[in-house]
Amino acid sequence: MLSPRLGGQLAFKLWRRPLARGRVRPDEQLIHDAARVEIVDNVKTYAWGDGQRPVLLVHGWRSRASRYAAFVTRLLELGYSPVSYDAPAHGDSDGDVVSILGHQRIIRALEERHGPFEGVIAHSLGVPFALYAVREGVAAKRLVMISGVADFGYLADAFCRELGLGPKVNRELRRSIERGYFDGDDDIWTRFSVTTGKAELLVIHNDEDDVVDPAQARLLLRNYGERAHFLPTTGLGHRKILADPAVIAEAVAFLQDADAPQDRAPQDRALQARSDVPEGLDLSA
């Protein structure tokens, strides 16, 4: 109330701190231990399989690569080679939190080592990181974006809304983000928001997601247009969705479809019938 600028600076300090590191869960331990671990661009990276048909997995805020354990298992069964990393200040990686440009650099380094990718699967905050890297040249045949953020400004808006901070502090927080990570560039809110791309995109979101508003899925679908397909889910929230067998099956099948004959009948995949937002799911803001 007294100093929006000071409030914005304090909010920025909270905004950029994960506060807690995700630990490897018991049901993730076997997959985590089976990975080939390397340090690439100062972060801990993980690779499974024989290196053929690599698929990149990008985790979200306060998460880690091991959250994809169920995905890794299924991808390995089908002959893919999953690749992932613990973001700086997340999981087992040291350092400070980096911006979307830092993630772009890491993903590019992983592509140089393991790519080009058959596909990219991302969750939550990992979605804008992954899509920006692909937009800037990282090669991937197909993209699966789960519970993702599409509007870069949503990161500041949702944070302020959660803490009950008003528009003046929101404005100062945005300025602090611009100065702290992007040399004062105020174009970042447009530059890093999701725009159309050339790859086929599967958007998966849950109607009970209490972390990322389902309306963000609508933006992804709108921006990718005819290249976007939608898989709605219910009752999984923001985190359980990554381990749901049906979600994993549909996501991996979507990657496999990249190699299917082009004349394949639409009726062969139930997903084709759900390629747009169904009338029964309210994705309005």
CATH no. for 30-151+195-274: 3.40.50.1820
Strands 54-58 and 81-85: parallel
pLDDT of residue 70: 96
CB 146 within 8 A of CB 251: yes
Whole-model pTM: value is: 0.86
pLDDT of residue 260: 65
- Residue the block writes with tokens 């800037």: 136
User: What's the CA gap between 125 and 107, in Å, rounded?
Assistant: 14
Residues (pLDDT < 70) of the chain are 1-9, 11-16, 18-19, 260-285
CB 27 within 8 A of CB 81: no
pLDDT of residue 224: 86
CB 135 within 8 A of CB 104: no
